[in-house]
Chain A
Amino acid sequence: MADQHYLDNEEKSVVIVMTSGPSTPHRCATPFYIGSILASMDSDVHIFFTMEGVMLAKRGVAENLSAMKGGKTILEFIRDAKAAGVKLHLCKPAMPGYELDVSDIIAEIDEVSNAGALADLILSSDKSMYF
């Protein structure tokens, strides 16, 4: 049997920096999908919404957005990632530029974090990915 079917990776930490948002919906599902896989492979996964990515955390946006016509909504991908154990951060310094207030964000967000938190995640993680 092909050895590739077995999972035997060591635990790792991964930060996914999510800068894509509603203007590029086709870029908005995969980061949560790969985050779900990584988390289910025992990785400690953090997705950090910044730049236009913060708009995905605004109530009413991700639930009405799909990466492909008729496809699953981005909010469903976000919830799958959460269910797999991914932690979600929202970039506080990016919020004013998109007129996003803490009272407007979806319940799935774990933390509203400053830029220093992102810097710490990037420096301390084994891998970082950018979308």
Chain B
Amino acid sequence: MECNGCEFRPELYYDDQYQIWARREEDGSLTVGMTDISQTVAGKILHVRVRRPGTLRPVGKPVATIESGKWAGPVPNVFDCVIEAANHSVLEDPNLLNIEPYEAWIARVRPSGTVEQALSVMLTGDAAQAGYCERTRREDLHCERGAR
């Protein structure tokens, strides 16, 4: 489903600014990536750097740093976690984040508490969709996915 051409996946969890998505994995970890809104705002992404695996990331401390031609900033973090892995495909080819934002995950993390505690601070389902669409309208965002 889409809002202003921005893809939204109801099965994922989102921060309240819709910058990142998280997906629950069977082994108790969470996969984290950028939303379609985020990759559109950033423009063509040129460089991604992820915290080294094993690093503790408290709330507010970024999981990764993104650089594009017109934007630089953090991939934010909304729960305490430890970095388990970076997506090497994305590190080597950051443009994947523009092309397939919900497939090109950035990092896999393990919450310091339970998965339920971590996800409790995120939005999902109808509530997430309403907020996601509201942001696209408020900021007049029209998403475009990059092409090679």
Residues of A at the B interface (CB closer than 8 Å) are 1-2, 4-8, 33-34, 36-37, 39-42, 71-72, 80, 83-85
Contact = CB atoms under 8 A, between A and B. Distances in A.
Contacts of A8: 51-52, 55
Contacts of B48: 5
A83 B73 contact: yes
A33 B64 CA distance: 16
Interface stretch (B22-30, B84-92, B118-126): B84-92
Contacts, number: 58
Contacts of A72: 70
Contacts of B50: 5-7
Given A1-B92, A6-B86, A36 B72 contact: yes
Best-buried of A33, A37, A40, A84 by chain B (most CB within 10 Å): A40
Contact of B73 (A2, A6, A84): A84
Contact of A40 (B55, B62, B86, B92): B62
Interface of B: 48-52, 55, 61-62, 64-67, 70-74, 86, 88, 91-92
Contact of A80 (B62, B73, B91): B73
Nearest to A36: B72
Nearest to A32: B72
A7 B52 CA distance: 6
A29 B124 CA distance: 36
Nearest to B75: A40
Contacts of B65: 7, 37, 40-41
Best-buried of A2, A6, A42 by chain B (most CB within 10 Å): A6
8 contacts: A4-B49, A5-B48, A5-B92, A6-B52, A7-B50, A7-B64, A40-B74, A85-B74
Nearest 3 A-B pairs (CB), nearest first? A40-B74, A5-B91, A36-B72
Contacts of B49: 4-7, 41
Contacts of B52: 6-8
Nearest to A3: B52
B124 to A, nearest CB: 24
